[in-house]
């Protein structure tokens, strides 16, 4: 699937435009976003499907179980957008995505995250081309969910370090121009952190635009290296260890804290950035023991999972480092 720049319309009550869709419309949503939509708008589609889970079998059964449609609308969070992507990909029909929270980049990426044995796998290949970013609905969601969206932009800080390291040590392909574009996205996030924290219209549009840019330059080089470094290994290790699902921003926030220290890569600045964006790097849904264990076994986990080269391969993971991270978390929780 080739990348095409999506048409993004944003503003207050922009979902009023749904009534202009022609043909049979199938909305894929969940109870909370759908109730929110119904409180604000009168228009109703031919069919509404409520997403239950993202297990591969569930998702694969949807095409035959749901009524035919000309347009599929994904209205809600990442799972709603991903389910809509799956249907539009299978049916080759028009798709409009209306994220009601911006905690993940699912509304912009071509891949669909499904679960197999409680671990995430990616299927499909469809780049979203029409997005409606409704400030009214997004601002109705808990702020911490929307702030979490900053994580996959903030991760550029530690990811670029690891990408350069891999290039230097292993000869992995590195693109200077892409790295420059990624750094520019990080700078924009830095400059708009207070709007991201406050979930203002400018903050919402900034996150969506930064996702768009990131998805585009990653698609161009066929790699997520510019935004996925060892901070994501921390996130994957936490999920693997606990077998629980977390807000992605919580885990990646923790990863940025821990890995910027390990890299000795402006850790104070990095912590300041994720604080100013409102990422919950203290991971409120995990206990200290789980975090300590995930950090301690990071190298073993990475080797076993066969993940990419990073600072985890070059710097010893000492108890002192683990305890320094834990101390920072305790302070944030106090």
Strands 25-29 and 71-76: parallel
Which CB atom, from 29 or from 178, has the smaller least distance to Zn ion? 178
Helix axis angle for 156-170 and 176-191, nearest 10°, is 160
Q: Smallest distance from the beta carbon of 36 to Zn ion, in angstroms?
A: 26
Give yes or no for a contact between 196 and 259, defined as CB atoms under 8 angstroms apart.
no
Q: In this complex, which beta carbon is closest to Zn ion, that of residue 152 or of residue 282?
A: 152
**152 or 214: whose CB is closer to Zn ion?**
152
* Smallest distance, Zn ion to C-beta of residue 48, A: 30
Tokens encoding 326: 């834990």
Nearer Cβ to Zn ion (248/261)? 248
How many alpha carbons lie under 13 Å from residue 296 in its C-beta half-sphere? 11
Nearest to Zn ion of 152, 328 (CB atom): 152
Asked whether 50 and 12 are in contact (CB, 8 A), the reply is no
CB of residue 149 to Zn ion, shortest distance in Å: 10
Nearest approach, Cβ of residue 249 and Zn ion (Å): 9
Cβ proximity to Zn ion: between 82 and 152 the closer is 152
Pairwise CA distance, residues 161 & 150, whole Å: 18
Strands (E), the chain: 7-11, 25-29, 47-50, 71-76, 94-99, 112-116, 119-123, 130-134
158 vs 178 by CB, closer to Zn ion? 158
In what helix (H) or strand (E) does residue 57 lie, and over which residues does it extend?
A: helix 56-65
Q: How far is the CB of 196 from Zn ion (least distance, A)?
A: 16
**By the criterion CB under 5 A, which residues form the site for Zn ion?**
152
d(CA 95, CA 86): 10
Nearest distance in Å: CB 104, Zn ion: 8
Shortest CB 122 distance to Zn ion, Å: 12
Distance CA 101, CA 76 (A): 7
DSSP assignment letter at 3? -
Kindly state the helix (H) or strand (E) to which residue 182 belongs, with its residue range. Answer: helix 176-191
């Amino acid at each position: 699937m080739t990348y095409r720049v999506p048409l993004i319309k944003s503003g207050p009550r922009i979902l009023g435009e749904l009534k202009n869709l022609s043909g049979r419309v199938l909305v894929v949503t969940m109870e909370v976003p759908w109730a929110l939509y119904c409180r604000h708008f009168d228009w109703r589609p031919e069919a509404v499907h409520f997403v239950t889970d993202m297990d591969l079998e569930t998702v694969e059964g949807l095409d035959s179980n749901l009524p035919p449609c000309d347009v599929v609308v994904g209205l809600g969070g990442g799972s709603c957008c991903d389910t809509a992507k799956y249907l539009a990909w299978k049916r080759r029909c028009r798709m409009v995505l209306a994220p009601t929270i911006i905690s993940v980049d699912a509304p912009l990426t071509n891949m669909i995250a499904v679960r197999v044995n409680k671990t995430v796998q990616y299927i499909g290949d469809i780049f979203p081309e029409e997005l409606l970013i409704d400030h009214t609905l997004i601002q109705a969601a808990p702020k911490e969910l929307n702030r979490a969206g900053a994580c996959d932009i903030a991760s550029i800080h530690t990811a670029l370090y690891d990408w350069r390291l891999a290039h230097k040590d292993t000869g992995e392909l590195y693109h200077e121009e892409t790295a420059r574009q990624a750094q520019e996205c990080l700078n924009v996030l830095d400059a708009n952190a207070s709007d991201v924290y406050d979930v203002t219209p400018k903050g919402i549009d900034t996150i969506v635009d930064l996702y768009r840019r990131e998805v585009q330059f990653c698609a161009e080089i066929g790699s997520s290296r510019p935004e996925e470094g060892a901070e994501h290994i921390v996130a994957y290790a936490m999920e693997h260890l606990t077998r629980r699902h977390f807000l992605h921003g919580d885990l990646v926030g923790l990863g940025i804290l821990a890995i910027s220290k390990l890299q000795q890569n402006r850790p104070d600045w990095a912590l300041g950035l994720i604080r100013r964006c409102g990422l919950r790097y203290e991971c409120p849904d995990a206990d200290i023991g789980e975090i300590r264990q995930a950090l301690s076994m990071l190298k073993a986990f990475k080797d076993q999972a066969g993940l990419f080269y990073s600072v985890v391969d070059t710097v010893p993971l000492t108890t002192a480092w683990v305890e320094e991270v834990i101390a920072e978390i305790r302070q944030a929780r106090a």
